[in-house]
Amino acid sequence: MKKVLITGASGFLGWSLCRKAREHWEVIGLCHT
């Protein structure tokens, strides 16, 4: 399975992208608090 790195995963767009991407890829999300 391919991996994808999503920055800003805690934001609205990043979270939505993570949810869609996990159907096809292994998702690694980064966020800054």
Q: Where are the chain's structural domains?
A: 1-33
d(CA 33, CA 26): 23
Residue that is written with structure tokens 């939505």 in the block = 16
Say whether pTM exceeds 0.85. no
At residue 22, the pLDDT reads 94
CB atoms under 10 Å from CB of 20, counted, come to 10
pLDDT tens-digit series, residues 1-33: 899 999 999 999 999 999 999 999 999 999 987
At residue 33, the pLDDT reads 79
